[in-house]
Structures are given as C-alpha cells and as structure tokens.
C-alpha cells in the first residue's frame, strides 16, 4: 500500500496548490491516504477551521506544529475537527488530540501521531521521546501502520527520533524548516524517514514569505512584517511511502516536489 505526506502548508496559495496537486499525486503514487502538515495554512501562522476543512477536501488528516494556536479561535474550533492532530507532547490541558486512528480506504486503519521538538523551539513541550513511547504502548495491537510527524528545528533531534522509532512505526516525517532534505531512506528496521518533507508554498519566496521583507529583516534587523506570498508559482513538497499493510514495515520512500501556478 501507499501513502503520501506533505510538508508545511503556507497561506492561501499553499492551500490552493495542495487542493490542485494532491489528487494528481495520489494517482501518480497509487496512494489513497494523505497526511498534510497545515500549521502555517492560516495566513502563514497557525490553523483555522476553514483552512483545515479546505485541506481535508483532498487529504485524510491534517497535523499541527509549534504554531498550532496562533489563530485565537482555533483552540475552540479544534474540538470539533476529528481529522486534525496537534502535537501530542503539548500540555494535557490543551484541547484537541495528539494522535488518532484513521481509516485507510485500501488497507484498514492508520495511526497518525504529531510531535513537536524541544531543541531550539520557542514553545515548551514535554519530552517527545517519552510521549511517543507512551502512545505506542496505548495503540491497539491491531494497528500496524503508524505515521509520525515530528515538527522540530534540529536535524539531530529529528534523526534521533527516526532511529528511536525504527522498526516500531511505518514512517517518520520531519517538518518545520520548510526545506526538503536529501536523506530520504528506509531504516534497517523498516521505518521510512526524511529529516524534512519541505513545504507547500511559493517557489519564489523565503520559506513562503516575500523575499524583500525577509531580506530587510536580516540586513537591517528592525522588526517588520513578513507577508506571505499568495500568487505565482507554488511548490508542493512531500514524500510517498510504500509499505506492507500486514506488518506496517516500509518498503520504499520517494520524495517529490511539484509546481503549479496559482
């Protein structure tokens, strides 16, 4: 069986690119299940119910990250969004769920877990390693396919998580840095891994933001707005994973990057 994971969606243009390209990507890779990190989908900062529902017209699950609560209404909205998972190692007092079991049309059930890193991240969170260990202990034994979105800054922390989970989950997808890495591989234990899946955002941008504004930020140093690029050529980055649904072991991971005019 096959599944698809897409990197961080940035803004309205990123959402539009996903809606246009994900159905084609599903056909290309023979995938019936897709997970999308949507934590920058609401104007480049956080999520909203309307943005999530737009992404869910083509994806099966939307994951969050350190910007999950940037939109003030989302803590109230998330409780009614069954196919959204926010980082599981946020405080237990946070609304929403950090993992869930979802139906794959072709291969039964898939567990999706969202985690956020601690190294160089602005928000405090519980240990992601202890958290995922606890979740794996709670998963029903019938669940063989497990997907982890690890939203983290440090490549070392992401790679450590991949090695930590090798043989115990189907795939670990790194997110957050918006730049796709060149290390996609299947580890010896049968876990597919990539340090960062990339982003779904404007091709001519800096992490989805307008180039002149970001350059001014770096060269001048004064506080300034960093507008999201919403029109032009957009890139959709991610990876497809082939796996044995009877064992949950990954067989192949194929990173991709596609473009579309918005």
Which contiguous run of DSSP H or E holds residue 52?
helix 49-55
Q: Are the CB atoms for 83 and 102 separated by under 8 Å?
A: yes
Which residue numbers are catalytic? 67
Residues 32 and 26: beta-carbon distance below 8 Å: yes
Helix (H) / strand (E) element for 19: namely helix 11-29
Instruction: Kindly state the tokens that stand for 9.
Output: 């969606």
- How many residues belong to the chain? 262
d(C-alpha 107, C-alpha 175), whole Å: 25
| DSSP conformational letter for 39 | T
Give the CA-trace dihedral at 198, 201, 204, 210, to 10 degrees.
-110
Query: What is the residue whose two structure tokens read 């999201």?
Result: 228
């Amino acid at each position: 069986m096959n599944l698809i994971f897409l990197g961080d969606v940035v803004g309205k243009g990123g959402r539009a690119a996903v809606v246009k390209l994900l159905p084609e990507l599903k056909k290309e890779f023979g995938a019936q299940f897709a997970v999308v990190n949507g934590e920058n989908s609401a104007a480049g900062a956080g999520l909203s119910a309307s943005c999530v529902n737009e992404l869910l017209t083509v994806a099966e699950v939307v994951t969050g990250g350190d910007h999950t609560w940037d939109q003030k209404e989302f803590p109230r909205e998330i409780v009614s969004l069954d196919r959204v998972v926010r980082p599981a190692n946020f405080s237990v007092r946070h609304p929403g769920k950090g993992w869930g079991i979802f139906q794959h049309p072709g291969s039964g059930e898939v567990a999706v877990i969202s985690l956020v890193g601690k190294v160089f991240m602005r928000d405090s969170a519980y240990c992601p390693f202890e958290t995922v260990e606890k979740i794996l202990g709670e998963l029903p034994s019938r669940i063989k396919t497990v997907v982890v979105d690890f939203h983290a800054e440090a490549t070392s922390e992401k790679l450590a998580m991949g090695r930590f989970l090798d043989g115990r989950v189907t795939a670990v997808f790194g997110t957050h840095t918006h730049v796709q890495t060149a290390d996609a591989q299947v580890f010896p234990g049968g876990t597919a891994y990539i340090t960062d899946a990339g982003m779904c955002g404007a091709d001519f941008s800096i992490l989805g933001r307008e180039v002149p504004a970001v350059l001014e930020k770096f060269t001048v140093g004064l506080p300034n707005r960093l507008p999201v690029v919403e029109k032009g050529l957009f890139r959709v980055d991610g990876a497809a994973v082939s796996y044995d649904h009877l064992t949950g072991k990954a067989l192949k991971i194929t990173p991709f990057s596609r473009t579309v005019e918005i």
